[in-house]
Amino acid sequence: MNKTAARAFASVSILGLLTAVVATVIGHIGLGPGYDPLKLTISDYALSNRGVTIEIAMVALALGAPALLAGLRAVGVAIRGLPAVLLSIWSVGLLVAAIIPTDPPEVTTMSTAALVHRYTSVAAFVALPIAAAVIASRFPGMGRRMVSAVRRLCVGCALGVAVLWYVAFPGGRVMMGLVERSLVSVEIAILMVLSFGILRAARAARAAQPATREPITPMPETATATAGRTAATTTTVIAGRAATTTTTSTAMRSGTTTSGDRGRTAARTTTAAGRTGATSTTAASSGRTGATDWATADRAGAAADGQRRSDRDLVGAVSGAAQRGSRDA
């Protein structure tokens, strides 16, 4: 499906339809009391001093049909066969009617040109609703509502053609202008719905197409990225050193605390053993020294033991000397 071409051709078709409507309205303005749109046909208005606008409207409708066919082909609708043939009849019939005018309303006997104009116009009016009905059956992409709308408009066209034939022949052209304009309006509506159906199908196809992602190109390494990694590495190293220092300090504090506890225990032992002033001073000093280092505390404990033995020996010697002095006395 060529979505871009479909949208372009559908836009051309819509532009042609709008041009035809505007030109036809302009061709009906300011023509005087002798022109009655309820009685006179559009072809009769083409004979007025503003008839060029009616001819422009016919050409615009005729050129919009090929654009519509191209848009239908772009969205994948099978237009070969009956749709292409019937839309070609519509387009050629309008071009012929624009080139070959009809006779004035007061002429009672129709000329050859007027007959060609009449029957090419009738062929165009008949061909379009048949082509639209076939296209609607082959074009589900425009949605159920649009398909249903086209079919209903085709039924309205069929009724309009029957009423137009009646008023043109047995009816004595009563309200023929109103019937013809109603029929043309319905057929323009059919072309408009088909054109918007092409736009809808192209938009739906675009929405259903998966989005393509562009490959991500790795960015070259910059000085900023290198500096960032260097800073991160430095921060990690510093944090590791800080953690190591903290762990070591904690361990040292734990060891110091343990040594201090042991030293204080030794100091209490020493204090209890040596109650004399000198012994207490030496033991206390040994205990405080042991609070700093485990080995020093052990040596202080050993010195305290030796001091106690010396004290016991001294006390024993003094006691023995005292006893001997007592006996001698």
Closest CA to 27 of 181, 227, 165: 181
Q: Which residue has the higher pLDDT, 172 or 70?
A: 70
* Residue 296 CB neighbour total at 10 angstroms: 17
pLDDT digits (tens, 9 = 90+) for 81-123: 999 999 999 999 999 999 999 999 888 888 999 999 999 999 9
Where in the chain are the domains? Answer: 3-208, 259-322
Q: How far is CA 196 from CA 104, 131, 153, 191, 206, in A?
A: 38, 17, 15, 9, 15
Residues in Cβ contact with 84 at an 8 Å cutoff, skipping those fewer than 6 apart? 69
pLDDT digits (tens, 9 = 90+) for 213-257: 445 555 544 444 444 454 444 444 344 454 444 433 443 344 433
Average pLDDT over residues 296-320: 59
* Residue 285 CB neighbour total at 10 angstroms: 14
Token readout for 12 is 């051309």
pLDDT digits (tens, 9 = 90+) for 278-295: 333 332 333 343 334 444
**pLDDT of res. 7:** 95
Q: How far is CA 131 from CA 81, 93, 108, 150, in A?
A: 10, 14, 34, 11
Cα separation of 151 and 59, whole Å? 26
